[in-house]
């Protein structure tokens, strides 16, 4: 069941690389940095994901990253999702994140899946919301 919103952030793309163009399906890597909140704690988030453009024009992506609180507590994440281009050239992603941490502040995350909405504008600016899935 979809639960409460547990995170929100704003950031930007910091780099893009083309990894492959084999078979006419480009595979790209993107990195980003963002700031926001996770479980009510201010965090800086950074991650990298690979995405492939599929035959129908949608994207499939997988990535990993780390969120860090000001006091140094960290939580790492791995995730995957599906993206779609909108008419303005932005990409709307939907998917799931899975967490790992030893930090007491973020311990609850290791037992849930986080469902995300991630939007990357054509200019690289990004926004995200994260929801608990129980």
Q: Per-residue confidence at 1, pLDDT binned at 50, 70, 90?
A: low
What is the predicted pLDDT for the residue at 41? 98
Q: Are 130 and 105 in contact (CB under 8 A)?
A: no
Q: What is the pLDDT of residues 87-128, one digit of tens each?
A: 999 999 999 999 999 999 999 999 999 999 999 999 999 999
What is the predicted pLDDT for the residue at 23? 85
The burial class, CB within 10 Å (0-12 / 13-18 / 19+), for 37 is middle
Q: Are 62 and 35 in contact (CB under 8 A)?
A: no
**DSSP H or E stretch at residue 11:** strand 2-20
The pLDDT of 7-22, averaged and rounded, is 96
């Amino acid at each position: 069941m979809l639960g409460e919103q547990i995170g929100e952030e704003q950031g930007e793309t910091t780099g893009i690389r083309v990894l492959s163009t084999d078979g006419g399906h480009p595979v790209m890597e993107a990195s980003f940095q963002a700031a926001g909140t996770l479980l009510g704690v201010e965090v800086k988030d950074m991650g990298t994901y690979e995405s492939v453009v599929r035959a129908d024009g949608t994207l499939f992506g997988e990535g990993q990253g780390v969120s860090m609180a000001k006091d140094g507590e960290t939580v790492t994440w791995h995730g995957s999702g599906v993206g779609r281009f909108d008419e303005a050239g932005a990409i709307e992603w939907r998917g799931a994140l899975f967490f790992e941490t030893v930090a007491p502040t973020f311990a609850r995350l290791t037992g849930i899946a986080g469902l995300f909405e991630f939007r990357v504008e054509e200019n690289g600016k990004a926004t995200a919301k994260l929801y608990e899935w129980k």
